[in-house]
Each structure stands twice: as structure tokens, then as C-alpha cells.
Amino acid sequence: MCGIVTAIATNNIVPVLLEGLRKLEYRGYDSAGLAVLSGELTRLRSAGRVAELAALADARQLSANIGIAHTRWATHGVPSERNAHPHISGGLAVVHNGIIENFEAIKTGLQARGYVFTSETDTEAIAHLIHSKLQGTPDLFEAVRLATNELVGAYAIGVLAEADPFRAIVARRGSPLLLGVGEDGMYAASDTAALLQVTRKVVYLEDGDLAELRRDSYRIVLADGTPVEREVHLSSLSADAVELGKFRHYMQKEIFEQPQALANTLELIAGGGGISPQHFGARAAEVFEGVRRVLVLACGTSYHAGLVARYWIEAIAKLPVTVEIASEYRYRESVPDPDTLVVVISQSGETADTLAALKHAKSLGMERTLAICNVPESAIVRETALRFITRAGPEIGVASTKAFTTQLAAFALLTLALAKLNGRLSAADEERHLVALRHLPVAVQKVLELEPEIEKWAQRFASKEHALFLGRGSHWPIAMEGALKLKEISYIHAEAYAAGELKHGPLALVDKDMPVIAVSPHDQLLEKLKSNLQEVRARGGELYVFADAGSEIPESEGVHILHMPEHYGMLSPVLHVIPLQLLSYHAALVKGTDVDKPRNLAKSVTVE
Ligand code: AGP
């Protein structure tokens, strides 16, 4: 979603703002803008890409020592130049990420005082509100503090004022924002990737924090104005990790990074390491003790990881598991049980619905919380008793790939840790699972070698308007993930069904124009699945089957088979999702869609 960059330095900061925005493009946006102070306030906005904004800045030969910049993902008001940030009130400019829930009330009050609104955004209300506070105090920092105290909702903001050219003010509540402490200046941005160009020293702001940035110093206060110190971290994020390198798209790069991402995530058990609750934090044994059930809360792809985990945890650790879509759970009247382990899964750790669902679960008295997350300092990680950080590295493509498989690896460890604590895991079984987990990166590498064949399938697919994905057992969520990937990046309408459900309705959709993709591992449900596939074939549906070696499904007219290298037992879902990721990627390439930044979507969904 929206991205923010703020800079104040001894050098020209315009290139820093633009490069920061380029690094935030992956978050998803539809317009971009910046404002700088150089004697006077200059604002540039574009209802297009950052490249267009950069061209505008070049044409003006823009140069300044202080500025704010923004990529906007539309919430209030259509994507347009008029609604693009920064928004201005008098000589004051504001960029904002988040949603202000009480902006209508604020707007009405400000309009009554004579403020004129030129956009449909909630952000413009923030600009005018701060401006109105400046009538009562001459201090910009104090005016921002007073204004933010009236905001209900989520925000990360950057503020500049013509009358106060030697400092920029930033503040956050609910939306991500961090400071960058540079040699020649001070910076703020929505994530570290935007600031690696100038510094590795970062300070994560907490909810309610406000910071004043000057060229050579910064200070942070709480919402009530009390000064506060926040730790300076040295980011270990490598600049290469956010570069495309030899790849055409981030999604492709991230699909092919999966063996390494899994190896990094599973490093804890490399060599002689066994299964231990300690993988989830020092207090894990204490938190897991007496757990009677598991509740998984997540959205999108992360939700699918939770659905796979349900099969594993129930089968192996023998604990009942409920998996809920976070945006539903947070508003549902559920029956809380304090002996529940609440597991929140999120690649970004900033997903507003997942964070709110977690807070809701805690408010119901469920304090045994675990985050499985890819971003160590994210809001979700800071809210849970325990955490497991997947080591997938930055995921830039909007379509989640390596985050998913590493989430599954984390869940495999959790399943075994809970089983071990409950006396459900024999030493021999533990060893067997450890061997399989250690071999997983190699097994994934072999699946990636199927790419040329999948590419051929994708050619046939790209002309279709609909597709059905089928799976059974723990591979049903994999079918769901395959359908999500296809619709997300190729815009082909896709649905996933538990194959046994086919004849209860969706079979009516099957004809020669409806490709049916079957996830078909060599497990105890294979014979059942084969019957379901016959049902499709009998209706003229064309089948694309991802079968394991030994699945013995013969290729025939209308039945295309791709054999996976090996059957992988419990971890088979990790392998079976890979060809589905590749299929979507190549279908999108044929269709010519914007693979890494699909229309209407954002990487990290920081609003409800
Ligand atoms: C995945 O391809 C999606 N872009 C989306 O469903 C994503 O998984 C979802 O928004 C949750 O994000 P999170 O893992 O960062 O919480």
C-alpha cells in the first residue's frame, strides 16, 4: 500500500526521495507525488508511475535539502493527480499512509471554519487539521502532535512547512514507519529498502510516536509529548536482496529463491539440531504447556498456509485446529478459550486485518500468541508472546511465493514441536521428519527444473477465461493457493474446490473451455481423486494433472500429466505449490500483465 519517504540532508534530497519511491513501488500504488522546500514549497504529482514523477522533477531541475514523497494506493477517491499526495494546506504539505476513520467529522468541522477541500482524500483533512492547530501554537511539532491526537484510524505521515524549513515531522499509528540515521541527513520511510541507499542505521517508531527530523539530529516523543528513546538497529538487509539481478521479475526471482529461503528458515535443524519449542522463542515451552487447541489467523496466501497446517497439526500433534480469515474473525462473536495457542501468520507483519484479529484474540483473554512472520520488527511480531521469523528475505512481488513455502516450513516445525511436547512424536518419527525437512531445499530445487514443461502448459492456458483447481486433503489448500496465484497475476478467473465437492455443484461448469488443474500427490486419497478426474473427463473437461512419480495416471487425449520428481509425504504440499506458482507466472507472461504489480493490488495491506 502507500509508501512514504521523508528526507532532510546537506545534499540535494530529490534523487533520494525518487529512489526511495522506486524501492517502495512493490508495495502497490496508482499515483505518486513529492513536495520539497527550496525557498518556497514545490509540489509535483503524477497519476502514473514513479518514472513519470522523476521525469517531471528532471524537467524542473528540482533540487532541495528537505522533502517528502509518496506512492498512493487509492482508498478515498479515485486514482488521479488531484487525489495524489502530498496534500497542502497553506504552506504546509502532508503525505499519509493509512485510513482516517473519522475524517468526515474532521472535514465537516474544518469546512465550517472555512477550509476548502480540493480532493476526495482523508489525507487532506490531516493537512488542514495541522494547519488549524498552527493557529493556536507556533510550533509545527506541537501542531502535528495535537492534530494526530484527534485522528481515529491508521496513519504514518510526513509533514513539511514553508514557514519552518529546517525540520520535517513524521508520526505513526498503525501504519509502518521507520527513521534512517544518515551521515549527511535524517530520513524516514515505510520500509528499510527505501533507505538502504543512504543508511543502514534504522529506528523503528512505535504506535503513537512522533519524530522531528533535522539535518544532524532527531528526537522522538510519545503521543502525550513525553520524550522517548528508541533503539538504533543496524539493518542487515542486503541491497542485492531487493535488486532483480538476472531475473525478469521479482516473482520469478522469488520462486527460484525458494530452495535457499527454505534452507535459511530451516537452519535451526541443520546439522544435528533436533525439534525444540525453543525454535519459537525462549518462553515457548512455558507458553505451549497445557495448550489444548490452536487458532490460526491470517489473510490470503498466509491463510492458505494455515489451512495446510491444520491437516498437519491435527494428524501429528493431535490438537484441534481452527483456521480463520482474520477479517472475519475480528468481527465475529467467537467462543474464546485461554488454552488456545493463537498463531498469526503474515509475510509483512503489517496486514491490518491480521493485526486487528490478533489484538481481538488477546482482548478475549487469549494470551498464548505466536507470530510466524517474515519481517522481524513488524507490528505483528511486536504484539505476540512468541515469534518465528521465516528467513525468506524481502519478498517484493505482490504475489506471495517464497513467503508461503517458508511459512509451511515454520508450521512443520511447530507441528513437530507440539507433537513432541504432547508425547506424540517417537524418536524414530522425529528423525524421519528431520531428514525430510533437511532434504526439502534439494527436493524443491528438483521441482523448479520442471519449468520448461510448465511454460508449455501456460501457453495453452493464457487464452482461457476461467480455470478450476482441484485437490484433496492437505493439497486442497494448495489448489486454493494455485487459484489465488492465477487470478492475482494473470486475471484469469479461477476457483479451487476440494475434489470431492465437484459433483455437488461446480461440475456444472465443466466443458471443453474449462481447464481443470488437479493437484494429485501419491497419497491415500489418490484413488478417490482419480474418480473425480474421470468425472471431469466424462464432461469434456481438459485436465492438467500434477502427479507424483508413481501416481499411475495415464496420459491420454485431454489428460495432460506432469510428474513431480518424488512423493514427499507430509511435506508434499510444499513441493506441489511450486508448479502452480510457475504456471501462474508463465500464464501472466503470455498475457503480458504487470506480474510484480498486478492491477488494484498492494503488497502489504495496511488498511482494513
Ligand atoms: C498473496 O499472493 C497475496 N498478495 C495476499 O493474499 C497476501 O498473502 C495477503 O495480503 C496477506 O499478506 P501478509 O502475509 O503480508 O499478511
pLDDT of residue 586 exceeding 80, the answer is: yes
Residue 513 lies in a domain: yes
Which residue among 2, 107, 253, 597 is the active-site one? Answer: 2
pLDDT at 95: 97
pLDDT at 306: 98
Q: How confident is the model at residue 30 (pLDDT cuts 50, 70, 90)?
A: confident
Q: Which of 301, 374, 390, 608 to mutate to test the pocket of ligand 1 (most atoms within 8 A of CB)?
A: 301
The rounded distance, in Å, linking the Cα atoms of 499 and 10 is 63
pLDDT of residue 242 exceeding 80, the answer is: no
Span 44-103, pLDDT tens digits = 999 989 999 999 999 999 999 999 999 998 877 888 999 999 999 999 999 999 888 899
pLDDT of residue 260 exceeding 90, the answer is: yes
Residue 604 lies in a domain: no
Q: Is 485 a catalytic residue?
A: no
Mean pLDDT of 127-139: 95
| In a shared domain, residues 18 and 105 | yes
> 401 in ligand 1 pocket by Cβ < 6 Å?
no
C-alpha cell at 504: 455437488
Span 190-209, pLDDT tens digits = 989 899 999 999 999 988 99
| In a shared domain, residues 225 and 366 | no
Residues whose CB is less than 8 angstroms from the CB of residue 593 and which lie 6 or more positions away in sequence, other chains included: 489, 490, 491, 599
Mean pLDDT for all residues in the chain: 92
Span 98-111, pLDDT tens digits = 888 899 999 999 99
User: Separation of 298 CA from ligand 1 center, angstroms?
Assistant: 9
Torsion angles phi and psi, residue 95, rounded to 5: -115, 150
Residue whose CA is closest, atom 5 of ligand 1? 300
The atom of ligand 1 lying closest to the CA of 485 is 2
pLDDT at 554: 77
Residue 171 lies in a domain: yes
Residue whose CA is closest, atom 16 of ligand 1? 346
The rounded distance, in Å, linking the Cα atoms of 434 and 369 is 25
> 606 in ligand 1 pocket by Cβ < 6 Å?
no
pLDDT of residue 307 exceeding 80, the answer is: yes
Residue 599 lies in a domain: no
| In a shared domain, residues 485 and 579 | yes
> 584 in ligand 1 pocket by Cβ < 6 Å?
no
pLDDT at 241: 74
User: Could you give the count of Cα atoms lying within 13 Å of 267 in the half-sphere of its Cβ?
Assistant: 9
The rounded distance, in Å, linking the Cα atoms of 536 and 188 is 55
pLDDT at 26: 77
User: Separation of 301 CA from ligand 1 center, angstroms?
Assistant: 5
**CATH code of 76's domain:** 3.60.20.10
CA dihedral 507, 512, 517, 522 (to 10 degrees): 80
User: Separation of 606 CA from ligand 1 center, angstroms?
Assistant: 11
Catalogue the E-assigned strands of 509-595.
Answer: 515-520, 542-548, 559-564
Q: Which of 1, 351, 401, 487 to mutate to test the pocket of ligand 1 (most atoms within 8 A of CB)?
A: 351
> 371 in ligand 1 pocket by Cβ < 6 Å?
no
Q: Which of 605, 606, 607, 608 to mutate to test the pocket of ligand 1 (most atoms within 8 A of CB)?
A: 605
> 299 in ligand 1 pocket by Cβ < 6 Å?
yes
Span 210-231, pLDDT tens digits = 999 999 999 999 999 999 999 9
User: Separation of 403 CA from ligand 1 center, angstroms?
Assistant: 9
Q: Is the omega angle on the peptide bond into residue 506 within 30 degrees of 0, that is, cis?
A: no
> 347 in ligand 1 pocket by Cβ < 6 Å?
yes
| In a shared domain, residues 39 and 168 | yes
Span 2-24, pLDDT tens digits = 899 999 999 999 999 999 999 88
Residue whose CA is closest, atom 7 of ligand 1? 300
Helix (H) or strand (E) holding 325: strand 321-325
C-alpha cell at 243: 535488486
Q: How confident is the model at residue 189 (pLDDT cuts 50, 70, 90)?
A: very high
Name the domain boundary from 415, 447, 479. 447
The rounded distance, in Å, linking the Cα atoms of 199 and 128 is 33
C-alpha cell at 541: 473437461
Residue 603 lies in a domain: no
Helix (H) or strand (E) holding 404: helix 402-421
The atom of ligand 1 lying closest to the CA of 401 is 2
| In a shared domain, residues 422 and 314 | yes
User: Separation of 307 CA from ligand 1 center, angstroms?
Assistant: 14
| In a shared domain, residues 435 and 301 | yes
> 346 in ligand 1 pocket by Cβ < 6 Å?
yes
| In a shared domain, residues 120 and 141 | yes
β-strand 369-373 against 386-389: which pairing, if any?
Answer: parallel
The atom of ligand 1 lying closest to the CA of 484 is 2
Q: Which of 27, 302, 304, 396 to mutate to test the pocket of ligand 1 (most atoms within 8 A of CB)?
A: 302
| In a shared domain, residues 73 and 150 | yes
Domain membership of residue 345 as a residue range: 250-447
The rounded distance, in Å, linking the Cα atoms of 468 and 453 is 20
| In a shared domain, residues 238 and 344 | no
User: Separation of 449 CA from ligand 1 center, angstroms?
Assistant: 26
Name the domain boundary from 447, 470, 498. 447
The atom of ligand 1 lying closest to the CA of 601 is 4
Residue 350 lies in a domain: yes
User: Separation of 154 CA from ligand 1 center, angstroms?
Assistant: 19
User: Separation of 598 CA from ligand 1 center, angstroms?
Assistant: 13
Number of domains into which the chain is organized: 3
Q: How confident is the model at residue 377 (pLDDT cuts 50, 70, 90)?
A: confident
The atom of ligand 1 lying closest to the CA of 348 is 15
Q: Which residue type is seen at 167?
A: R
User: Separation of 438 CA from ligand 1 center, angstroms?
Assistant: 27
Q: Which residue type is seen at 444?
A: V
Cβ distance 432 to 478 under 8 Å? no
Residues paired with residue 228 on neighbouring β-strands, in sequence order: 220
Mean pLDDT of 357-361: 97
Span 549-581, pLDDT tens digits = 777 777 888 888 899 888 889 999 999 999 999
Q: Is 299 a catalytic residue?
A: no
CA 95 remoteness from chain centre = 22
Cβ distance 71 to 51 under 8 Å? no
The atom of ligand 1 lying closest to the CA of 603 is 4
| In a shared domain, residues 436 and 377 | yes
> 581 in ligand 1 pocket by Cβ < 6 Å?
no
> 302 in ligand 1 pocket by Cβ < 6 Å?
yes
C-alpha cell at 428: 524414530
Mean pLDDT of 462-478: 93
pLDDT at 208: 94
Per-residue three-class SS string for 419-447: HHHCCCCCHHHHHHHHHHHHHHHHHHHHH
Span 413-438, pLDDT tens digits = 999 999 999 999 999 999 999 999 99
User: Separation of 538 CA from ligand 1 center, angstroms?
Assistant: 36
Residue whose CA is closest, atom 9 of ligand 1? 300
Mean pLDDT of 464-481: 95
Mean pLDDT of 318-342: 95
pLDDT at 272: 74
Residue 598 lies in a domain: no
| In a shared domain, residues 185 and 56 | yes
Task: Write the CA distances from 321 to 115, 122, 343, 380, integer angstroms.
Answer: 53, 40, 10, 21
The pLDDT > 70 percentage for the chain reads 100
| In a shared domain, residues 459 and 438 | no
pLDDT at 261: 93
User: Separation of 601 CA from ligand 1 center, angstroms?
Assistant: 10
The DSSP call for residue 149 is: T
Which residue among 133, 253, 485, 603 is the active-site one? Answer: 603
Residues paired with residue 484 on neighbouring β-strands, in sequence order: none
Residue 602 lies in a domain: no
> 300 in ligand 1 pocket by Cβ < 6 Å?
yes
Name the domain boundary from 242, 268, 288. 242
**CATH code of 561's domain:** 3.40.50.10490
> 400 in ligand 1 pocket by Cβ < 6 Å?
yes
